[in-house]
Amino acid sequence: MRKHFLFLLLVICARQLVFSNNKLFGEELSSELLSHLYLNVSIGNQFYDCLSPDYDFVRASTNYYSSYESKTLSYYFDQIFADVKIEYRFFEEKLWLSSGLRYSNLLSSLGKYAYYENSSDYFYLTTNNDENTSNFYRVQNIDYSAHYLGLPIELRYSPFSLRFIRVFFKAGTEFNFLFQENKSVDFKTTEMENYEGDILDLFDSSPGLYGSVYLGAGIHLGRPGKTGFRLEANFPVFPFCSGSFGLVEPVFGGGAEFSIVFPLKF
Amino acid sequence: MRKFVIYIFLFAIISCADDTELTDSIYVADSENPELTAYSEWGYNTFGIVYERNVFTYSNNVVPLKVIVDTNYVSFLMQGQMNYDYMALKISIPDSSITSYQDLLNYNNTIISLAAEDIFVEMIEENTSYKLNILSGELNFLSIKRLMVDNIEEGIILSGEFNLKFVKEGIPESMSNGRFDFAVNDAIFFAF
């Protein structure tokens, strides 16, 4: 409920910023300019294909020779985002340039995939070893949840329209900055939770700067100058970051985005 | 109804699933010779050695190591296959101090010369046993450590390398580039 309230507040503030006496940053906005400006509120999700992490402190788990990985770990990297953007349409309303503020939640997880019914759902990980002892820990999952605030920049090209449906293509990039990170380890036995810090120390943290470049296409429902709805697919999405991606390494991805677009001039 | 029975059956199988990963053999290929397992110290329950132009290695069908203590000897029986036929190598070392698998920790960082007079090496192929006349060879226990899983001792990890030259049925032969990595616990330790 609190999240919904904050989101609504953000939308209202953005609109107020533009509408208040038709002034933006103290400068008078012409009616003509306003007619080309839209407020774009979006939510989206992106899944990434990841590289197999080859951690030398994780015990292998296949009992046959194959060209596949000897560590049957499962992993994913997912981005959920919501943003508020101002969109400026020009070149006979065929080009739409937008930018704003984006909140992203990057979720990544490393676990054990049970290929067969008698496979275990945990993997063995080793740390705190000495000359005489090998310590194994049974871990079911390691989860990261990283929160970012960022700046998306997107350019859409809408070559044609059919009544109130417009098809468009887009190219975009985003730069996100980490402001909070939560990590957790699910052990096979809860008694081992005291060792969570030791396990997490083995893995890199989420990157301070995370971004991506992407292409996409979609449809916009609504007449020019009216409130519209937009559904678009992002593919491919190529991520980049400062240093290590953290738990797993995403290679490329794709996703979907839904937006409500408000005209700034009624 | 039929589907329901199948689901119940599958659920029963899944429910009965047991964690056998520490007793299973885990295959990690050697980067230079993929027919051999890579040298490791994880308790993967594997071994492998180049025998002339073949590879004698572990098999998923037999327990790869049994430690047998009998009349002042401790024997390491490595069982596996060569060219899909059963094969085993039994190395017997005189030692009366071994009474439990934990006592094997004493072998950590120990090299045993297999050519010593009081050491016996036996090869078993299918149903035939051969006592080998050892010309030279070593059994090198590179690392023996306690294996703790979630702070509970589950056994020991016995890792090392071995090689030997010998005469079998009048013909000199060699085994080289051998390596082993076993998780040893009470289940594979036999004291008579």
Chain A residues at the B interface, defined by Cβ less than 8 Å, are 59-65, 70, 117-120, 124, 126, 129, 131-138, 187-189, 191-192
Candidates A64, A117, A191; nearest CB to B27: A64
Residue B94 confidence (pLDDT) = 96
Q: Which two tokens stand for residue A186?
A: 């699910």
- Sequence-distant (≥ 6) Cβ neighbours of residue B1 within 8 angstroms: none
B12 falls in which pLDDT band (50, 70, 90)?
Answer: very low
Q: Which residues of A touch B18 (CB under 8 A)?
A: 118
User: Pick from A92, A94, A7, A13: which is nearest to A43 by CA?
Assistant: A7
How far off is chain B from A180, nearest CA to CA, in Å? 30
Cα separation, A208 vs A147, whole angstroms:
10
Task: Check B26 against A70: CB less than 8 A apart.
Answer: yes
Q: Which two tokens stand for residue A245?
A: 């991606």
* Partner A contacted by B33 (CB < 8 A): no
CB pairs under 8 A between A and B: 74
User: Pick from A85, A3, A72: which is nearest to A39 by CA?
Assistant: A85
Residue B32 is classified by DSSP as: S
Cα separation, A108 vs A48, whole angstroms:
10
Residue A213 confidence (pLDDT) = 97
Task: Check B26 against A118: CB less than 8 A apart.
Answer: no
How far off is chain B from A120, nearest CA to CA, in Å? 6
Cα separation, B137 vs A62, whole angstroms:
32
Mutate to test the interface with A, among B40, B150, B156, B182 (most CBs of A within 10 A): B150
* Partner A contacted by B168 (CB < 8 A): no
* Mean per-residue pLDDT over chain B, rounded: 89
A53-62, A193-202, B121-130, B181-190: which has the minimum mean pLDDT? A53-62
- Cα-to-chain-centroid distance, residue B171: 26
Q: Which residues of A touch B46 (CB under 8 A)?
A: none
Tell me the one-letter amino acid at A78: D
| Backbone phi and psi for residue A247, each to the nearest 5 degrees, phi listed first | -70, -45
Task: Check A138 against B149: CB less than 8 A apart.
Answer: yes
Residue B125 pLDDT > 90, yes or no?
yes
H/E segment holding residue B157? strand B152-168
Q: Which residues of A touch B60 (CB under 8 A)?
A: 63-64
The listed range with the strongest mean pLDDT (A18-32, B14-28, B66-80) is B66-80
Q: Which residues of A touch B150 (CB under 8 A)?
A: 136-138, 187-189, 191-192
Residue A63 confidence (pLDDT) = 57
SS3 B161: strand
Cα separation, A216 vs A256, whole angstroms:
9
Residue A42 confidence (pLDDT) = 98
- What's this model's pTM, rounded to 2 decimal places? 0.81
Residue A3 confidence (pLDDT) = 52
SS3 B15: helix
Residue A83 confidence (pLDDT) = 97
Cα separation, B104 vs B43, whole angstroms:
14
Residue A74 confidence (pLDDT) = 85
Q: Which residues of A touch B14 (CB under 8 A)?
A: 117
Residue B63 pLDDT > 50, yes or no?
yes
A73-87, B5-19, B95-109: which has the minimum mean pLDDT? B5-19
Number of Cβ within a 10 Å radius of residue A149: 13
pLDDT-flagged residues of chain A (< 50):
1, 13, 17, 21-22, 26, 66-67
Residue B7 confidence (pLDDT) = 44
pLDDT tens-digit readout, A162-173: 888 999 999 999
Strands A133-162 and B133-149: parallel
Task: Check A64 against B42: CB less than 8 A apart.
Answer: no
Q: Are A142 and A199 in contact (CB under 8 A)?
A: yes
Q: What is the DSSP string of chain A?
A: -HHHHHHHHHHHHHHHHHHGGGEETTEEPPHHHHTTEEEEEEEEEEEEEEEPP--TTB-----S--SS-SS-EEEEEEEEEEEEEEEEEETTTTEEEEEEEEEEEEEEEEEE---STTS-S-EEEE-S--SSEEEEEEEEEEEEEEEEEEEEEEEEEEEEEETTEEEEEEEEEEEEEEEEEEEEEEESSGGGGGGHHHHHTTSPPPPSEEEEEEEEEEEEES-TTS-EEEEEEEEEEEEEESS--SSSEEEEEEEEEEEEEEES--
